[in-house]
Structures are given as structure tokens and as C-alpha cells.
């Protein structure tokens, strides 16, 4: 399945057998995979290429994560996974994320995720690149105008 991020609805994901346990319920760690994909696709949708960052010795790692599992996703469910930037600093960005079942708009999981920018060669924190800072500033400005 080709996954595309749509800013109005998030990332569409279907639950496959590989995502579930023997009872057809999504394994808890798979939600983190879905959220990672949603953040990556959000950045790509906004025009920032991550491969170019790798060439510039830049990578991103999850530094902090708080997740609440409200209800299970099941085999063959269609999900919507969102990634909304809510804050950023010199070396980090915070996202609020949700996994929602599309059939009934039920929030299955919600998370607050802090992603840090690091230098690939040393693993040490480094400043967010200018294009990422501009993207975050623009997105937060747009989000505050909508609210």
C-alpha cells in the first residue's frame, strides 16, 4: 500500500495480519510504527526530504514518548494516523499524534512525542536545520490561526 499524508485527514493505514496477535488485535508496538510513518509522511508532504538530511549528517530520534491506548485496532480496520506539531526548540520538536478508526472516528491511541535532531556521526544533539525550523514555524502559525 502506498501511504500518503493528507493534511486534512492524516495518514491512511490498513491493519494487516502482520500487525496483529493471534486474536486479530494490533500489537501495541505497531502503533509506534504507524506514528513514525505519519510523522515522516507529514514532513515529506510539507516538502522536506529526509534523505538529503542523511547526506548532511542529520537524523531524528524519538527522545520522549507518552502514549495512551484507549481501544484496540483489529485486523482489516482502516485507520487514520495524525501528526500535529505543537512546539519546538533549537534541537527538538513535539508532536501530538492520534490513531483513529475511520469507520467510527474512535480514537484508539493518542501520544505526545518529542523528536530530537542529532548528528549521525556522533549521535549528539544538533540544531534543527533551517528548512525544518521554517516548516515548524509556518505550521504552528497556521495551527494557531485555525484554533
Domain ranges of the chain: 5-146
User: Is 21 an active-site residue?
Assistant: yes
Instruction: Give me the catalytic one of 21, 104, 105, 112.
Output: 21
pLDDT for residue 115: 97
Superfamily (CATH) of domain 5-146: Hotdog Thioesterase (3.10.129.10)
108-123: per-residue pLDDT in tens?
999 999 999 999 999 9
pLDDT for residue 141: 84
Looking up cell 525544518 gives 132
pLDDT for residue 101: 98
Beta bridge partners of 97: 83, 111
Rounded distance, CA 100 to CA 108, Å?
A: 5
pLDDT for residue 146: 54
Query: Contact, 8 vs 81, CB < 8 A?
Result: no
Rounded distance, CA 97 to CA 92, Å?
A: 16
Which residues of the chain fall short of a pLDDT of 70? 1-9, 143-147
Amino acid at each position: 500500500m502506498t501511504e500518503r499524508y493528507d493534511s486534512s485527514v492524516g495518514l491512511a493505514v490498513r491493519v494487516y495480519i502482520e500487525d496483529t496477535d493471534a486474536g486479530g488485535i494490533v500489537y501495541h508496538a505497531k502503533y509506534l510504527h504507524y506514528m513514525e510513518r505519519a510523522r515522516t509522511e507529514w514532513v515529506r508532504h510539507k516538502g522536506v526530504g529526509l534523505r538529503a538530511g542523511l547526506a548532511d549528517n542529520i537524523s531524528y530520534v524519538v527522545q520522549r514518548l507518552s502514549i495512551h491506548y484507549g481501544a484496540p485496532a483489529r485486523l482489516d480496520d482502516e485507520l487514520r494516523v495524525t501528526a500535529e506539531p505543537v512546539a519546538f526548540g533549537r534541537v527538538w520538536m513535539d508532536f501530538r499524534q492520534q490513531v483513529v478508526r475511520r469507520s467510527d472516528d474512535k480514537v484508539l491511541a493518542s501520544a505526545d512525542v518529542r523528536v530530537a535532531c542529532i548528528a549521525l556521526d556522533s549521535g549528539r544533539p544538533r540544531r534543527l536545520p533551517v528548512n525544518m525550523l521554517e516548516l515548524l514555524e509556518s505550521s504552528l502559525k497556521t495551527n494557531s490561526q485555525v484554533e
